[in-house]
Structures are given as structure tokens and as C-alpha cells.
């Protein structure tokens, strides 16, 4: 019997690009009907916490909170190697200057904020929509901003300076990539169906890579005023070989992230990733 599989992804260019094959029905999940749920990542995180979606993109930092109900898929992760969320400001701050500083962050459940908590102490987080971070820095409402998505590409066009790239900082310390976003699948679907979903997502990513121009056009349908050139650059950063397979490096990186998150007080218990 066919069922409706609810798939959540964000309108971020990398997410939309990965799900292009499934969304446009070039790829199917064992003949089942697919219902797209396209929402911002914070809302998807909340829906995962409420067990509302069969498969969804989430922030890697949310996985320990949903691990009892979801498996991590070995494909579909947004992974940076030697780059990631960037701390920006009107003037450059040394790392030792962050104590007491007000830092705009794109939500308290984001992997970007988790990395900031792991590496720096005693700053004052100011959570806001990621689109408001650069304007907030420019208006001196905060001292620094933690930019993600297209903000990583265009902050300098606003006259802002890079203080530290947290993905680069992570890579220099641990020689590992940083998985920022993950795709997870509900355990109650059963392992057999979960593996079929994983294979379909893998095929969808491959299909998008092979039909890049069309997949980018699909990703751009969701707006945000990103140029095709910027979207292509961003997708190239976060849809890569690590996206097709997290592999040993990705698994080790998640173990390290969750361990350091526990040590920093971000998580209440130690967690190991369950990847299928």
C-alpha cells in the first residue's frame, strides 16, 4: 500500500538543490507519494522535535534532541571543509576581545551558535532571523554578527570585516569537516523503508548535480534575492562529496561536535550519532 511521505526541507539554496530530483518527481521513493514541506530551518527543527515529518533537514545541533526518534542519513548533509559560519563586525576583533560582546546569532538551536559556544565564552548572544544579522551589525545594535547562508558570501560588500571563520577554526583544530545541517529519517518507518528513502535522496542529489542549471533555477524559485551566480557558489560549498556520503570523517566530526557540545553545557547528555 502506498503512503504519503512528508519531506521537510528549507528554501536555502543547498537544501532546495538537493531535493530537486524528488520535488520534481524525477526520483521516487518506492512509488510512494511525496508531500513537500518547505519551511525555514528553525521551523523544521521544531517540527522534528514534534515528530511531524518523516524525513527532514535539521540543524546538526538539534540531532541530540531527536536521536531517539530519527536516524541520520549518510547523504544529504551540508558540510563545510575549512569554512563555515563567519563572525563579522565593523572592525576586526581579536578572539580575546569577545568577552561581554553582544553577538547576533541565527537562533539558539543552530549549529553555528553551538560552534560559537564551543570556542568562545562569556559573550552575550542576541538571537534573530539570519536575514537581520548584517543590518543589526550595521546599525550598531550588536558588536558582531554570526553570518550563515548567503551572508558568508556577501558580508564584505556591506563593509564588514571577517573576525573568524568558525569552520576554518574547527578544521585547524581537529582536521575534520563540519556538518552544519543533516537530513534525518523517522525510525518508526522501519529500517528497510529508511534505507529506501536514503537511496532516493542520494539519487536526487546526484540528479541535481547532473542537471545543475535546472536544479539551481528550482532553488532560486524560493526567492531571497540571491543571484544565480551566488546560489551556484553557495551550493558548490555545501553540496559536495561529503553530501553524497558523510563517511568516516563526517561521523568523527559529529562525534566531536556532540562531545564538545556536552562539555560546553549545550547538551545535557553525551550522544553518539546513529547514521544509516
Q: Which residues are annotated as catalytic?
A: 149
Contact 102, 168 (CB under 8 A): no
d(CA 204, CA 244): 10
Residue with cell 568577552: 99
Strand partners, 87: 146, 164
Measured CA distances, 84 to 95, 133, 147, 179, 243 (Å): 17, 16, 9, 9, 15
Measured CA distances, 145 to 78, 91, 171 (Å): 21, 12, 21
Backbone angles phi, psi at 221, to 5 degrees: -60, -20
Amino acid at each position: 500500500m502506498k503512503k504519503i511521505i512528508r519531506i521537510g526541507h528549507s528554501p536555502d539554496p543547498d537544501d532546495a538543490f538537493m531535493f530537486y530530483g524528488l520535488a520534481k518527481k524525477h526520483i521516487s521513493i518506492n512509488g510512494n507519494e511525496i508531500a513537500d514541506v518547505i519551511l525555514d530551518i528553525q521551523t523544521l527543527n521544531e517540527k522534528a522535535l514534534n515528530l511531524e515529518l518523516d524525513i527532514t533537514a535539521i540543524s546538526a545541533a538539534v540531532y541530540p534532541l531527536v536521536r531517539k526518534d530519527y536516524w541520520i542519513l549518510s547523504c544529504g548533509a551540508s558540510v563545510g571543509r575549512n569554512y563555515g559560519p563567519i563572525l563579522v563586525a565593523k572592525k576586526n576583533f581579536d578572539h580575546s576581545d569577545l568577552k561581554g560582546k553582544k553577538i547576533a546569532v541565527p537562533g539558539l538551536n543552530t549549529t553555528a551558535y553551538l560552534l560559537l559556544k564551543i570556542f568562545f565564552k562569556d559573550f552575550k548572544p542576541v538571537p534573530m532571523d539570519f536575514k537581520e544579522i548584517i543590518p543589526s551589525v550595521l546599525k550598531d545594535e550588536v558588536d558582531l554578527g554570526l553570518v550563515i547562508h548567503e551572508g558568508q558570501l556577501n558580508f564584505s560588500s556591506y563593509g564588514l570585516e571577517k573576525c573568524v571563520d568558525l569552520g576554518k577554526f574547527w578544521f585547524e583544530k581537529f582536521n575534520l569537516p563540519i556538518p552544519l545541517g543533516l537530513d534525518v529519517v523517522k525510525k518508526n518507518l522501519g529500517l528497510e523503508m529508511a534505507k529506501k528513502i536514503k537511496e532516493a535522496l542520494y539519487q536526487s542529489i546526484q540528479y541535481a548535480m547532473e542537471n545543475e542549471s535546472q536544479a539551481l533555477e528550482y532553488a532560486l524559485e524560493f526567492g531571497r534575492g540571491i543571484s544565480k551566480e551566488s546560489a551556484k557558489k553557495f551550493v558548490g560549498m555545501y553540496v559536495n562529496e561529503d553530501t553524497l556520503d558523510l563517511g568516516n570523517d563526517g561521523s568523527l566530526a559529529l562525534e566531536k561536535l556532540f562531545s564538545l557540545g556536552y562539555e560546553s553545557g549545550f547538551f545535557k547528555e553525551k550522544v553518539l550519532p546513529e547514521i544509516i
